[in-house]
A and B are shown apart, each in its own frame.
Chain A
Amino acid sequence: MPRAHRSGRPRRVVHVRRRDGFTLFETAISLAVIGTAVLSAMLMMPAGLRVHRLARFQLLAAAKAEELVELFLASANVRSNIESEATAPWEVPAAYGSQAMDLEARVASNKAGVIPLPGALSRRIDSDGDEIARILAEGGALHYFHPAAAGGFEEQVWLAAGGGAPTDAQKLVFAVRGAPQQNAIALFPWKAWPYYAGYPSPPTHVLRMHDADMAPGAKLLEWPHPSYAAFCFDGAGPASQPGVDADLAEVFACADAGGLAHGFEPYAYGSGPATPTVDGAIRYLQTALWYCARKGLGSDFHTPAATTPPRRDFLAQPRWQQVHAMRFLAHAGLCLTRWKTLAELGGQPSGAIGLAIPSVTIAGTASPAIELTHDLIRFWHDSALALARRYAAEDPYDWGAPRITQHALMTDHPLLQWDLFSPPLSGPISGAPGEYGAHWRPLSASPVTNIGVSMSYPAAPIPAGIWGHPEHFTLLDGFTLAERCRELVFWAVDWQAYEDCELCPSEAVDASRYNLAAPLPGVDFAGRMSFLKWSDPHLYAYRNPEKNQAFFAEVDDRATGAPIGDVLLGSYFAATTSNDQGASLAARQCFTGRWGADRDFDGVLDRGPVPPSVRLRAVTIGRFLFYDPRLPLVLR
């Protein structure tokens, strides 16, 4: 029984029914649990989205990786409108690393739409294992893709045709990992061999290079124009130089004891208006026969029995001179088919009587007298091709006679490389007093014989002492696949989010991407920098890869979104397209991309929201191995 209250009244029993609801603490816990669950679900969604975006970028990277390798291996090796020959290898950039058969060197151009990302941006980007930082530290670079150029087409063409749609590929960057192979020399700076000539043909005559010094006795022409003259290359050069044969120049033009002009030039061009005559053609043929006599090549070489099949074998005399001899005979003989009929040339098959070619004495040597027939001309023509082909195939390191235009072969290019383990060559830089250049020495798989002189510098013998140590030659060495293997690594990063994404200067441009004129008499280095006409359609491997969308003036003071078409260097039709040429500060700033570039090619100045002080993290997208050849190849 309940006890009474102190007041005497019985204690009232109050049954308080406690309702067991959630306490505030429990509610809070519950909400926290719910919140965590919801947030977790929310957090998983971005992760899922990232996976999808990653998948997108992996697809883009796969497509772009294949395109890079295709561009690298399937593009033609042609590099026109450059100067490749000089008296020393440091005088022209043709044989420098920027022109090498390496993927990043070949595809980093406006044409391919592959452009190095400015170092100021790429150094702010982190990646797994600091891979990007290590690549940059080793001298590599990140590259981005031009939004419009693709597939080897120039960007402004795409744009004009409505091809400049936005693309996610600009958020992809890539780098090439792994050291490149030491490549073969594609252009031998002393002499850009192979030289080609159509067979048959007369002695090679070429345009004279910028009044470069001529060898004593070189045959100069007033043709095609006195200010744009040519000279006979064959035979030019110091007589002491192996491969220089002064008699070749006589076949081009000479005079007999009576002062009568003989040779190809008087026949084909003459002085003044060209007026070829049959007599001129006969005298040209006499000169070709005279050359045979000078080289000790007798009738068994030039006028064998009528039924003799075309000559495929060489006599004991130097092969390159036999190639020249048959080349001239065939050319001069064919010239006479312009003037004489088949009947006059002995019919077909030819009889013993044809066109009598009398002997002539030139420089104390008498040419043989022969009966010229149709069949003999045909014999010479077939033999010229056969001997030239055999010579080109069997003697790739004999440079005494040119290779065959109609039959260009990879073996026309001898295997040459630089010797990285011998003391380099050095010497003064032309036009820059007190400045010296240095370069590795060349190596050849076999000794080059009859090297002659170059067309650009026929007065300058190629020194015999330039060559490196033969034991350092490696192009023919065995190799493991891993040695030829390099890797394309792709990352995704929104580098265009940076405030200064279009204001950063271009990635450093190697000086050897400057298309420099070779040494010129009386022209200083600054003059050499501006001497050549820079032609956009030909200079893919030169200049700043970012050139066409680079600014030629400062644009920092412009508002975000302001048009910047008026300050683009542009390409081809743009009046400012060559603002990057020359020695002036302004030109050098343009060449190096000092003022930034319209990197998304949208015609307005873009600034992203991210300040330069913030580092972005790149996500690794994919890796692709590719073969790194040592020779300049074109794959089909």
Chain B
Amino acid sequence: MRRGFTLLECLIAIALGVVAITTCFAGVRALTAAVATAGRLSLENALMRDAWSQAKHDVDFWTDLDDPADASRQALRASSGGIGLPFTPMATLGGEDAASRAREAAWAADDPETWSYGNTNEFWRGDLRFGRYAISQNLAADLLVEDGATSYGQVHVAHTWLPRRMRLVVAGLGFYGAADYLPPSTIWSWYAPYQGAPPAPWEAETVDGPDGATGPSGAPLMFHRWQSRLCNDDGFQEVPRGLWRLTMGSVFIVADPRRRPEPPLAQLIDEHRRWYRAGYTADADAYGDRSWRAFRAATDQPRDLLPLAPAWWPRFDTVTARFIKNGRFVAMSTLRWTSPLSGETTRLTFASLGTTLRGARRQRLVGGGWADPAQEGLDAP
């Protein structure tokens, strides 16, 4: 007689089988999910590392804004009539003679030419009751000192180097570039031959502000007027300022030329010669083309890390914005990644220490390519 399984044995066998199959199935499912998650995390981490490295590379070499190896990505080297952008070669801007460059390199504390002889309380609408400081230091070596109503006389001015040097970088490189090149204790003003002009509202000021209308003292209005191109609207201060005051709650920027549509040169020149609102008193949209949103639009141009990546990969983009706020030179990088599954975007923002604009300019040769450390790069005469 052949004895079969008892019902109990059968049930136990079936139960054990079910347990075994369920366990295996669950295990395989978990394994599959874990492998998928691990794969996704691994991919995300690898891409994040790449994005982070890319951001650090940008901070150190500024290749996001100017690529020495690609002439089509050097929009910030352009200039127009002596008004340039952060990467405009000094030679294009008129350059300096060897003596001036040597003086600039040393910027010796006991060199009277590097001193500021201006009236730190020069009020642009003032009546000159504190005198004509334009006779001591001026853009022009010989000028008729006047104020539109009276004339002092034709004067030879002893000190011209500092205002000329300041004008070179302010007009040549824009506000961010000038701040990078000038000593941190600089008082932002100089004297020039008087140019009488009805004071225009700041909205109407042109980008050649430093060469535009002056007050009776000969100081360009741009440096003194509250809400000028240079001076923000904080505190109604109408005498010359230092960098911290100029950027208290507002920013000077290096504008990103990679936008689409590509910004024309005039727009880039304009964006490097204005302040944007960016502080507790800021509203994201207030102030129109000086708003936080305008600032971000000019600096926050994300670059797709891997444009040809498969669609099921997370999308990564990076951007490094450069600006000066509250006297601090900021290189703020943002990594953003969007999940292909949920569509959720995650962000990592961080500021880093990196190469200054001046350092970046010295990394580059005028005709393209990288300079070696002994070369002057874009600062070459």
Write out the residue numbers on chain B whose beta carbons fall within 8 Å of the beta carbon of A163. Answer: 347, 349
A496 to B124, CA, bound (A): 55
**In the docked arrangement, what's the CA distance between A60 and B115, Å?**
45
Cβ–Cβ contact A34 & B41, under 8 A: no
CB pair A38–B351 under 8 Å, yes or no, is: no
Which of chain A's residues have a CB closer than 8 A to the CB of B185?
406-409
Q: Are B349 and A31 in contact (CB under 8 A)?
A: no
Which residue of A48, A53, A64, A385 is within 8 Å of B112 (Cβ)? Answer: A385
The answer on a CB contact under 8 Å between A386 and B353 is no
Q: Check if A56 sits within 8 Å of B131, measured CB to CB.
A: no
| Given A76-B327, A150-B332, A335-B131, A393-B158 contact (CB < 8 Å) | no
Is A160's CB under 8 angstroms from B284's CB? Answer: yes
Chain A residues near B280: list those with CB within 8 A: 154, 156-157, 536-537, 571-572
User: Residue A56 contacts which of B44, B115, B345, B351 (CB distance < 8 angstroms)?
Assistant: B44
Encode A45-76 as 1/0 by CB contact (under 8 A) with B: 11011001101100110111011011101111
Report Cα–Cα, A268/B129, bound state, in Å. Answer: 7
Which residues of chain A have C-beta atoms less than 8 A from B249's C-beta? Answer: 537
Chain A CB within 8 A of B116 CB: yes
Q: Which residues of A contact B154 (CB under 8 A)?
A: 342
Hey, which chain B residues are within 8 Å of A71, CB to CB? 351
**Is B353 touching A42 in the complex (CB atoms < 8 A)?**
no
Query: Do residues A341 and B118 form an inter-chain contact, with CB atoms below 8 A?
Result: no
Which A residues lie within 8 Å of B12 (CB)? 24
B119 within 8 A of A: yes
Residues from chain A with Cβ under 8 Å of B71 in the complex: none
Stretch of A164-172, A315-323, A497-505 with 4 or more beta carbons under 8 angstroms from chain B? A164-172
B344 within 8 A of A: yes
Report chain A residues within 8 Å CB of B109. 389, 393, 407, 409
**How far does the alpha carbon of A385 sit from the alpha carbon of B356 in the complex, in Å?**
31
Max chain A Cβ within 10 angstroms of own Cβ: one of B27, B281, B347, B351: B351
Q: Taking A38-B24, A76-B327 as contacts, is the C-beta distance between A59 and B48 under 8 angstroms?
A: yes
Task: Give, as a whole number of angstroms, the nearest-CB distance from B189 to chain A.
Answer: 10
A386 in contact with B112 given A56-B45, A70-B353, A537-B280 (CB within 8 Å) = yes
Q: Give CA–CA (A331, B44) in the complex, Å.
A: 66
Q: Judge whether A27 is part of the interface by a CB distance below 8 angstroms.
A: yes
Q: Is the interface of A mostly helix, strand, loop or mixed?
A: helix
B350 close to chain A: CB less than 8 A = yes
Alpha-carbon separation in the docked complex, A150 to B153 (Å): 55
Nearest B residue to A635 via CB reads B353
Residues of A within 8 A of B332 (CB): 150-151
In the complex the two chains form, is B151's CB within 8 Å of A341's CB? yes
B348–A49 touching, CB < 8 Å:
no
Answer yes or no: A198 CB below 8 A from chain B CBs: yes
Nearest chain A CB to B319's CB is how many angstroms away?
12
Are B38 and A74 in contact, with the CB atoms below 8 A? no
Measured in the bound complex, the distance between the Cα atoms of B136 and A331 in whole Å is 12
A127 CB-CB contact with B under 8 Å: no
Q: Determine, out of B29-37, B197-205, B218-226, the stretch whose residues face the partner at the interface.
A: B29-37
* Contacting residues of chain B (341-375) with chain A, CB-CB under 8 angstroms: 344-353, 356
Closest to A267 in B: B129
**Is B283 in contact with A160, judged by CB distance below 8 angstroms?**
yes
Question: In this assembly, does B229 line the interface, its C-beta being within 8 Å of a C-beta of chain A?
Answer: no
Stretch among B15-23, B62-70, B80-88 lining the A interface: B15-23
**A56 contacts B346, C-beta separation under 8 Å:** no
Asked if A348 is an interface residue, CB under 8 A from chain B, the answer is yes
| A 396-411 binary contact with B (CB < 8 Å = 1; else 0) | 0000000001111100
Residue pair A166, B346 in contact (C-beta under 8 Å): yes
Residues of A within 8 A of B346 (CB): 165-168
Contact of A67 among B41, B118, B351 (CB under 8 A): B351
Contact A49 B34 (CB under 8 A): yes
Interface residues of B in 248-263 (CB under 8 A from A): 248-249
B91 proximal to A (CB < 8 A): no
For B158, list chain A residues within 8 Å (CB).
378, 382
Interface size of A by Cβ–Cβ distance < 8 Å? 88
Which A residue's beta carbon lies closest to that of B349? A150
Q: Give the residue name and chain of the A residue nearest to B159 (CB).
A: A382
Interface flag for A343 (CB, 8 Å): yes
Task: Give Cα A279–Cα B13 distance, bound, in whole angstroms.
Answer: 120
| Contacting residues of chain A (330-354) with chain B, CB-CB under 8 angstroms | 331, 333-338, 341-343, 347-348
Which of A31, A66, A153, A348 is within 8 Å of B155, CB to CB?
A348
User: Chain B residues with Cβ under 8 A from A536's Cβ?
Assistant: 280
Verify if A310 is at the interface (C-beta below 8 Å from B).
Answer: yes
- B residues in contact with A634, CB < 8 Å: 184, 327-328
Q: Are B130 and A74 in contact (CB under 8 A)?
A: no
User: At the interface, yes or no: B42 with Cβ under 8 Å from chain A?
Assistant: yes
CB pair B244 A78 closer than 8 Å = yes
Of B19, B120, B152, B350, the contact of A31 (CB 8 Å cutoff): B19
Contact A310 B112 (CB under 8 A): yes
Q: Answer whether residue B125 sits at the interface, using C-beta atoms and an 8 A cutoff.
A: no
Q: Which one of A27, A64, A167 contacts B16 once the chains associate, using CB atoms below 8 Å?
A: A27
The reply to whether B52 and A59 form a contact with Cβ atoms under 8 Å apart is yes
Complex CA gap A348/B348 in Å reads 64
**Which chain A residue has the least Cβ–Cβ distance from B132?**
A337
How far does the alpha carbon of A19 sit from the alpha carbon of B292 in the complex, in Å? 84
Q: Which of A119-177 contact B (CB under 8 A)?
A: 150-154, 156-157, 160-161, 163, 165-169
Q: Is B265 an interface residue (CB 8 A)?
A: no
Closest-CB distance, A383 to chain B (whole angstroms): 10
Min C-beta distance of A451 to chain B, whole Å = 24
A355 CB to nearest B CB, Å = 13
Q: Within the assembled complex, what's the spacing in Å between the Cα atoms of A56 and B35?
A: 17
A contact set with B: CB distance below 8 Å: 24, 27-28, 31, 34-35, 38-39, 41-42, 45-46, 48-49, 52-53, 55-56, 59-60, 62-64, 66-67, 69-71, 73-76, 78, 150-154, 156-157, 160-161, 163, 165-169, 198, 201, 267-268, 274, 276, 310, 331, 333-338, 341-343, 347-348, 374, 377-378, 381-382, 385-386, 389, 393, 405-409, 536-537, 571-572, 634-636
13 contacts between A and B (CB under 8 A): A24-B12, A31-B20, A56-B44, A59-B52, A63-B350, A163-B349, A334-B119, A338-B128, A341-B151, A381-B136, A537-B248, A537-B279, A636-B356
Given contacts A59-B52, A201-B121, 8 further A-B contacts (CB under 8 A): A27-B16, A31-B16, A151-B330, A152-B328, A154-B279, A161-B284, A276-B127, A342-B155
- Give 7 nearest A-B pairs by CB, closest first: A198-B120, A342-B153, A45-B34, A334-B131, A38-B27, A52-B41, A160-B284
